[in-house]
Structure 1
Amino acid sequence: MLTEVLGVVEKANTRPLLIAMTTLSLLVRATGGAILSDPFTWALVVILPLGVMAYVLVIGWIYMIQGMNARLPENDMASWGPIIGSSLLAFCLLLTFSYVSSHPEGLSLSLLGEPDFVYVCTVFLLATETAKIRR
Structure 2
Amino acid sequence: MPTLTKLYTMKEASEHNSAGDCWVVIDGKVYDVSSYLDDHPGGDDVLLQATGKDATEEFEDAGHSKTAREQMETFCVGELDPSDIPQLEVVAEKQKNYVPEKLVQLSKQYWAVPVAAVGISVVVTVLYLRKK
**Larger RCO: 1 or 2 (CA < 8 Å, sep 6+):** 1
Q: Please state which band the TM-score falls in when normalised by the shorter chain.
A: under 0.3
Which structure's CA Rg is the greater one? 2
Task: Give the number of the structure whose residues are more often strand, by fraction.
Answer: 2
Normalised to the residue count of structure 2, the TM-score between the two structures is 0.26
